[in-house]
């Protein structure tokens, strides 16, 4: 029997961080389709993020991406956020959009390029000091396209050396979150291709280094919830980058491609104590063809629904069935929670939080979409690279 | 026993079409790294392509991409090519880089967008009339990102209707080559995801409609040479788009990721009569981080080497081993050809053709690379979207 | 708005065929774990299948596998089934478990082996005449393990020739259902690897030849519902073999690995008219570690739930959102149906059919499981190969 | 410039361990095709293995599988091997073919089953003491088929506990080699699915615990040579299980599906010092349809050819090209070695070792194949499970 009050209480404390870049334009290598009303400044991205939090109540922080969100005065930016009811979240570094990084950044064969990359990461920690952000999120586009292009092992040595320097700069209460990715934009090797590589580096670095699981960064057939369970058992799960995929790193709305997988992941989070720990839940998505703010609201709701279902699993019934080796019953207990329609429960939770039970409708009725289209005219729209 | 003279004769007649766009800049959704000396006009692309043909002797034609290679006077463009020893090849349409195409082109729910797309394809045939190109190559980025986004079946109806109108416009000696692709830039469905779909449409259209096999457009584990054998058996293999991949549509140099697969594909081409038929051999690659012209020369050489090996297969020994059910011997006959070093043979072929036996060295010594860096200053570099 | 009465009526007419072999033991190449109470004869398999139909009301027919279900008197077998409330369904051929088939059956290089295989298929049609079965289901294990082992194209010629002879033997009202499979037990090529190959053969054979979609027989990332939509549009979808998979052809309970995919497939079936047509819905699963009869009941229920959800899709709202290009709304309409809990609706349907609303409980309470363990002692348990 | 004498010297010291079970019958879940002349006893497997070593000169040891190769007197078995010119190699445990292991062995929810499994592993170390084998190779079929079936994390706890007990029993000079596998025979989770999991366990156990890389046990698209480079860098690569695959764990002859991948793997071995270290090179294959002894000879030769090519890489030219960021030149240096025909070199090596330069021919001419067919009549053929 699950305790509904406890489930509701847990859902009310949920926090999903939204990424500033998802409010801007994005696309594929073939085309970026521009949308009207898209933010032109970091401040406008925060304004949009505040709308998401206003209607969902569980998206209180916004991840920044440097240099896309570079400003003169980070305290003012933090103030801008707080005035709108949100806070600044993780700082995401960018070591892939400078011409210097054609053959890598922190793993580049040329020491000067590595220096440039490490300096950028150190600058990101300076920004964290200014914004009060706790997390430095590192994703490296580093890798090679052709066998022989560079020495796989030396690149690991360079990576270890660069990470160590950055790690040493971390202050109290600051963490380094290391993301892995199977491929893209590098097509033969990536320098942190899997959780094992990220884990091995974090282990050597120390307690402040943790692994990020981006749900779109795995080979076909990879059991992501197994990785989540394992990293939690090892005390090394730092954060999620949520999105969903059918093929590669499609960066679709989380929960839109395989909602059952998202439920299984959230179940391992709940079961492993990750829901109440330091694990950060972030979105990292690209809304190439759909309206951006509503897509982010929907994504936050998808995470909520998967979380609600995972909290509804009858853990003692499950444990009993597992202990007795009753395969079908154990599976049935899990599926009972998944097959539940948790939307009424979430509507209640929202009402108890003083929110509109229907976030999508609330946003639509707010007039924000029309307002930004009307007002955000001129200037340069934000986008990847902007 | 293979007849070496016949092998050499076949190799001398080989023709690999290079794509105008591969001479320009390209990249991933994360970054396009610009290179120096990249062409700024269709004419300069042809100049570069002529260098590839000059040193390899087997790259006599250049595929154009409309509108990237749009010019006022196509006869003058054809003349420009011929003056440099090459000819214009297939016309490639583009129905993915206009804002109108956010939800598709020929399959778009809005009839006005479909009209625009079909008109573009008809315009491409006008250009074929002007250039004397025989082939219209169609790749559609059409598809959907989310389940429910559009009706899968209606999109097929729209596709069939659009293709029929374009097909009807083809003149004598003109073909429509239909390409399929599993995913990207659409992430849930693509409207021509596999050879079966392309084949079914081509079958209904008629003899002038043929299927294009892009070697990077398949699901993991797909046996491409089986598809090649099947399409040749059905008389429906129109062309190849060669490139290679480790993960998705990586568009790396053909033969660089799995040279054994390329050999197996070329063997099925030879065995199925495709080498001496109307099957067009085209490259479709992106040289994101490596020098473009040398990468294309290397790619052409990789195709040559795979072809040479496939021609060296002792077909009668193979047939005998296959007929007797001798698994290991049949495999060994094939592997004997693959394990051969055909580079000396190709050096001989080149010398007999009056070429430098070492195309990479010949290009390096030509000074062309330095020349274009020095001369191509100012103007806008060509690139995807340019 | 969906018409609930119509949805219920449709659900009451649903028919899922269960396979005789799923009631027997099965396993992996590593181990077959034997279970107690497993049937020892075709008759006992029918007895078990009758239990599934008794509690679900929608599993009225049982597929046979020849020679595993070979009997002297098929009329008696049919009578045995009818006495228990079920009927004999499709006849499944077996051309993979005789030592003669080491290098293939209908595609074998040796004409004598091909003769043996075709004779077996003709015998299966004789059995259809005796049982009144309408469908001959063909799955070929044919293929090769090593490049060069046999000639890909000649094997297609042999396949076409063999199928033509079998097709010619079909009587009125009889169909040939051709299944495709990417790999296993052959590891380099299979002779019918994808829907395109099956479709091309069926097209040449004629109207009585139709394609079978086994949901576990695709490459990673394949969009199965697209294939379903396409085959329905072409009038060539003959049947499903339902099961589910995480990696390869895992043959797990349908709906257990990706219930959202099953829903999307069933939606395309409903949308394409397949639910009310001649498309046959069959299970083809292996219950290696779980209790077999309950696993089959659960599988039938999973198909029912996916069907119910697909019938609940608000088709007019969906069409409107699609036509207007509202990506998020169109996706939301589809997800609304998927996120519904249809279990109460199905309980009502069962009650209206005079059944226990809880098929799993009804089976448990029936005592059948204990009865067969007690009674089925001695003799040889049925299993793959038995 | 590579030093040919050094290359030859290295090739002469190569040692590839062949597995006793590959000499016996094997198959897929669909069928085991029996072959004539297959060994009936562990002694006869050693006799066959001795033939492989006799003609290749580089297959001096034979891996045993317990209980398949259980004998009364292991000293006598070791003597039998030595009399024929080979030695006993790694001991492979089997915790998957007892009915008790339906839901796992060392990770089973029932402590009694775990006890049984651990006891078996301890017994294997007893056997190592008797045979003088240095390596205990552990592959666990443990896992689950359905979400919820068992608790992922508790299974890790059980695994850690069991491994620790076994590890404690290891004597001086004995190692525990832990293998990972993505899937099969478990289809939802496996308890050691990837190198990261194996590595994390080995790290905690200590220096005697090392990871085994089976080349067929990865998700599609996994870069195996990256894992090899990483494990060597971490000092945790214990052994290879060589075989090759197109789709899943196909267990085909190593080098037959992707010889370029095998070359890249061997290059990382050479580059990382693994070729001259304690890394064990073992075959683990199934020759389901081809003649077994010749298939193993061919496999050993494939490993030799890949090794020879990897030794021929011009490491200083490669390093120079890599350091200068010359992508195409670095790739070309690697490909030059790969594109070489090393068969003449290996023929020389064999002649210098006093062997026939043509191992396949030598075996054929030896008459062994005919001899075993004539003599091995009666008794029970060895096979998986035998």
Q: What is the mean pLDDT of residues D308-317?
A: 98
B153/C232 Cβ within 8 A? yes
Rounded to a whole number of angstroms, the distance from the CA of D280 to the nearest CA of chain A is 20
Alpha carbon of A2: minimum distance to chain D alpha carbons (Å): 17
Q: Which chains touch C (3 or more CB pairs under 8 A)?
A: A, B, D
Closest chain C residue to the Cα of D184, Cα to Cα: C28
What SS3 string covers B136-172?
EEECCCCEECCCCCCCHHHHHHHHHHHHHHHHHHCCC
CB contact (8 A) between residue B327 and residue C226: no
Q: Is A289 on the interface with B (CB under 8 A)?
A: yes
| Tens-place pLDDT, residues D287-309 | 999 999 999 999 999 999 999 99
Q: Which residues of B touch A259 (CB under 8 A)?
A: none
Contact with chain A for residue D241, Cβ under 8 A: no
**CB B221 to CB D246 under 8 A?**
yes
Q: Which residue has the higher pLDDT, D383 or A242?
A: A242
Q: Collect all residues of chain B within an 8 Å Cβ-Cβ radius of residue A146.
A: 252-253, 256, 290
Residues of B in contact with A29 (CB under 8 A): 26-29, 185, 384
Q: CB of C326 within 8 Å of any CB in chain B?
A: no
Q: How far is B210 from chain A (nearest CA, A)?
A: 25
Res D386 pLDDT > 70: no
Whether A384 shows a pLDDT value over 90: the answer reads no
Using one digit for the tens of pLDDT, what is the confidence trace for B126-163?
999 999 999 999 999 999 999 999 999 999 999 999 99
DSSP 3-state of B17: strand
**D31-68 residue pLDDT tens:** 999 999 999 999 999 999 999 999 999 999 999 999 99
Residues A157-214: pLDDT tens digits? 999 999 999 999 999 999 999 999 999 999 999 999 999 999 999 999 999 999 999 9
Q: Are D332 and B298 in contact (CB under 8 A)?
A: yes
Mention every residue, 6+ apart, whose C-beta is less than 8 A from residue A83. none
> Is B142 part of the contact surface with chain C (CB cutoff 8 Å)?
no
- Which helix (H) or strand (E) covers residue C92, if one does? strand C87-92
Q: What is the pLDDT of residue B288?
A: 97
Count how many pairs of residues, chain A against chain C, have C-beta atoms within 8 Å.
50
Contact A256 C327 (CB under 8 A): no
pLDDT value at position B2?
A: 74
In this predicted model, what pLDDT tens digit does every residue of A66-120 receive, in sequence order?
Answer: 999 999 999 999 999 999 999 999 999 999 999 999 999 999 999 999 999 999 9
- Tell which of D245, D259, D305 to mutate to test the B interface (max B CBs under 10 Å): D259
Q: Compute φ and ψ for D54, nearest 5 degrees.
A: -60, -40
Q: What does the DSSP 8-state code read for residue C365?
A: H
Instruction: Report the candidate in C333, A27, C223, C259 with the shortest Cα–Cα distance to residue B188.
Output: C223
pLDDT of residue D2: 74
Share of chain D above pLDDT 90, in %: 96
CB–CB contact D330 A146 (8 Å): yes
pTM to 2 decimals? 0.98
Residue B271, pLDDT score = 97
Which residues numbered 177-236 in C keep a CB inside 8 Å of some CB on A? 220-221, 223
Residues 100-119 of A with CB under 8 A from B: 101-103
Q: Residue C248: its chain D contacts at CB < 8 A?
A: 183-184, 247-248
Query: Mean of the pLDDT values across residues B58-83?
Result: 97
Q: Which residues contact A28 (CB under 8 A, 6 or more apart)?
A: A288, B29, B184, B185
Provide the pLDDT for residue D384.
75
**Pairwise CB contact (< 8 Å): B153 & C225:** no
DSSP A93: P
Give how far the C-alpha of residue A153 lies from the chain's centroid of Cα atoms, to the nearest Å.
29
Q: How many CB atoms lie within 10 A of CB D157?
A: 12
What does the mean pLDDT of chain B come to?
Answer: 97
Is B340 in contact with D339 (Cβ distance < 8 A)? Answer: no
Query: Long-range contact list for C199-202, CB < 8 A, 24+ apart?
Result: C199/B196, C199/B200, C199/C231, C199/C234, C199/C236, C200/B196, C200/B199, C200/B230, C200/B234, C201/C159, C201/C160, C201/C163, C202/C176, C202/C178, C202/C236
pLDDT at A373 over 60: yes
Q: Which of C93, C146, C147, C288 to mutate to test the interface with D (most CBs of D within 10 A)?
A: C146
The tokens 């521009």 sit on which residue? A34
Asked if the Cβ–Cβ distance from A31 to B182 is below 8 Å, we say no
Distance between CA atoms of C306 and D147, rounded to whole angstroms?
18
Answer whether residue A1 shows pLDDT above 60: no
Which residues of chain C fall short of a pLDDT of 50?
A: none
C30, C92, C248, best to mutate vs chain D, most D CBs in 10 Å: C30
Residue B384 has pLDDT above 90, yes or no: no
Residue B358: is it exposed, middle or buried by C-beta count within 10 angstroms (0-12/13-18/19+)?
Answer: middle
Angular region, C53: left φ>0, alpha ψ -120 to 50, beta rest: alpha
- Is C150–B322 a contact, with Cβ atoms under 8 angstroms apart? yes
Q: Are C15 and C304 in contact (CB under 8 A)?
A: no
Q: Is the pLDDT of residue D91 over 80?
A: yes
The pair of structure tokens assigned to D192 is 């050691």
- Is C194's CB within 8 Å of B189's CB? no
Query: Which among D15, D18, D72 has a CA at the least distance from the CA of D46?
Result: D18
How does pLDDT run across A327-359, given as a tens digit for each residue? 999 999 999 999 999 999 999 999 999 999 999
* Bridge partner residues of A179 (DSSP): A212
- The DSSP output letter for C307 is H
Please report the pLDDT score of residue B111 as a whole number: 98
Residue B112, CA distances (Å) to A54, B161, C321 in order:
38, 14, 18
Q: Inform me whether the pLDDT recorded for D385 exceeds 90.
A: no
E strand segments, A27-82: 61-65
8 Å CB contact of C258 and A256 = no
For residue B181, name the pLDDT band (cuts at 50, 70, 90).
very high
Higher local confidence (pLDDT), C383 or B184: B184
Contact partners for chain A, using 3 or more CB pairs closer than 8 A, are B, C, D
Is the Cβ of B339 closer than 8 Å to some Cβ of chain D? Answer: yes
Q: How confident is the model at residue A383 (pLDDT cuts 50, 70, 90)?
A: confident
* Residue A2: band (very low, low, confident or very high) from pLDDT cuts 50, 70, 90: confident
**Nearest residue in B to C331, CA atom:** B148
């Amino acid at each position: 029997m699950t305790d509904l009050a406890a489930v509701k209480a847990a859902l009310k404390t949920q926090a999903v961080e939204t990424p500033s870049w998802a409010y801007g334009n994005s696309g594929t290598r073939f085309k970026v389709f521009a949308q009207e009303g898209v933010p032109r400044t970091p401040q406008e991205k925060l304004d949009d993020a505040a709308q998401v939090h206003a209607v969902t109540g569980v998206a209180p922080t916004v991840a920044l991406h440097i240099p896309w969100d570079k400003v003169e005065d980070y305290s003012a930016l933090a103030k801008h956020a707080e005035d709108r009811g949100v806070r600044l979240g993780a700082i995401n570094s960018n070591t892939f959009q400078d011409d210097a990084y054609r053959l890598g950044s922190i793993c580049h064969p040329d020491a000067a390029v590595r220096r440039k990359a490490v300096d950028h990461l150190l600058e990101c920690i300076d920004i964290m000091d200014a914004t009060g952000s706790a997390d430095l999120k590192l994703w490296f586009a580093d890798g090679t396209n052709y066998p022989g292009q560079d020495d796989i092992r030396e690149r690991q040595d360079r990576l270890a050396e660069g990470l160590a320097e950055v790690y040493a700069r971390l202050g109290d209460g600051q963490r380094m979150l290391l993301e892995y990715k199977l491929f893209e934009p590098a097509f033969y090797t990536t320098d942190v291709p899997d959780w094992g590589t990220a884990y091995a580096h974090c282990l050597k670095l120390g307690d402040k280094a943790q692994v990020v699981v981006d749900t779109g960064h795995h080979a076909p057939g990879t059991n992501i919830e197994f990785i989540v369970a394992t990293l939690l058992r090892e005390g090394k799960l730092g954060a999620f980058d949520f999105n969903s995929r059918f093929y590669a790193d499609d960066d679709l709305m989380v929960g839109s491609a395989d909602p059952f997988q998202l439920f299984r992941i959230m179940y391992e989070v709940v079961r492993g104590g990750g829901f109440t720990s330091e694990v950060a839940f972030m979105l990292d998505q690209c809304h190439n063809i759909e309206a951006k703010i509503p897509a982010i609201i929907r994504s936050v709701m998808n995470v909520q629904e998967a979380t609600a279902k995972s909290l509804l699993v009858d853990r003692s019934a499950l444990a009993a069935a597992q202990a007795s080796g009753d395969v079908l019953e154990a599976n049935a207990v899990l599926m009972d929670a998944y097959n539940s329609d948790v939307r009424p429960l979430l509507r209640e939770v929202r009402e108890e939080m003083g929110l509109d039970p229907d976030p999508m409708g609330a946003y639509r009725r707010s007039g924000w979409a029309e307002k930004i289209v009307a007002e955000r005219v001129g200037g340069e729209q934000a986008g990847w690279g902007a």
